[in-house]
Amino acid sequence: MAQQDTDQQHAGVLPVDDEGFVIDTGETEEREAAWRERGTSRPITVVGNPVLHKECKDVTDFGDELQQLVADMFASQRTAEGVGLAANQIGVDLKVFVYDCGDDEGVRHVGVVCNPKLVDLPAERRRLDDSNEGCLSVPTAYAPLARPDYAEVTGQDEKGNPIRVRGTGYFARCLQHETDHLYGYLYIDRLSKRERKDALRQMAENEPRYPVVAND
């Protein structure tokens, strides 16, 4: 009975703040665990797999199959020790990502976004941060990549309700990175040819610490 109550409480819509953005910082441990414990961890697809290099299909069915996918994504994210995971990173051609990510103030954010779109911000709000970036689909490789240190994403939650998510610092990078995935872009696609080559060299020289899908 208690477990059922937890599932019902955490499978719905997140509350929103006065500006209409989701409050994804409450009960993060409980919400992440409720998803993850219902899921099965899947291996991660890596650069070169066709599903990573094309735009994914829109989510149109918000039924049980999607709920199980989201649970599997949270389980897979935890296994790989990631902070965000897009559906195509476990081989599923759908526009959905999950996140469990801290911001630069150390605040933890947990949530689900379907059919995400990055909001185009005015120039005065685009302060670039050139911190290192990595990706579960390019295991063991890191490279500096300039991205805005603030991001807003619109989309739908796991039940199909419209949502707005915003983040700063590291969490802003996560929102941009995961949205990119669902439109067929890896972070290394935004690097120079030399930097991309170096990232792929790092990947080739090291072993991933989590299960991956080998490319043919």
pLDDT score of 24:
98
Contacts of 190 (CB under 8 A, 6+ apart): 145, 180
Q: Which residues are catalytic?
A: 178
pLDDT score of 13:
76
| Mean pLDDT of all residues belonging to the chain | 93
Domain annotation covers residue 10: no
Domain annotation covers residue 6: no
Residue with tokens 């911001």: 103
pLDDT score of 1:
23
Contacts of 124 (CB under 8 A, 6+ apart): none
Q: What's the CA angle centered on 209, arms 55 and 111, to 5 degrees?
A: 50
Eight-state DSSP code of residue 159: T
pLDDT score of 79:
98
Q: Cα-flanking dihedrals φ and ψ of residue 186, to 5°?
A: -95, 160
pLDDT tens sequence across 169-210:
999 999 999 999 999 999 999 999 999 999 999 999 999 999
pLDDT score of 11:
40
pLDDT score of 188:
98
Report, as an integer, the average pLDDT of 24-40: 98
Contacts of 94 (CB under 8 A, 6+ apart): 56, 57, 58, 59, 66, 69, 87, 88, 114
Domain count, the chain: 1
**To the nearest whole percent, how much of the chain has pLDDT over 70?**
94
Domain annotation covers residue 212: no
Domain annotation covers residue 7: no
Report, as an integer, the average pLDDT of 18-24: 96
Domain that holds residue 71: 16-119+126-206
Domain annotation covers residue 4: no
pLDDT tens sequence across 57-100:
999 999 999 999 999 999 999 999 999 999 999 999 999 999 99
Domain annotation covers residue 216: no
pLDDT score of 8:
36
Q: Which CATH number belongs to the domain containing residue 87 in this structure?
A: 3.90.45.10
pLDDT score of 216:
79
pLDDT tens sequence across 115-170:
999 999 888 878 999 999 999 999 999 999 999 999 999 999 999 999 999 999 99
Q: How many angstroms separate the CA atoms of 77 and 79, rounded?
A: 6
Domain annotation covers residue 59: yes
pLDDT score of 63:
97
Q: How many angstroms separate the CA atoms of 59 and 62, rounded?
A: 7
Do residues 112 and 68 touch, judged by C-beta distance below 8 A? Answer: no
Domain annotation covers residue 11: no
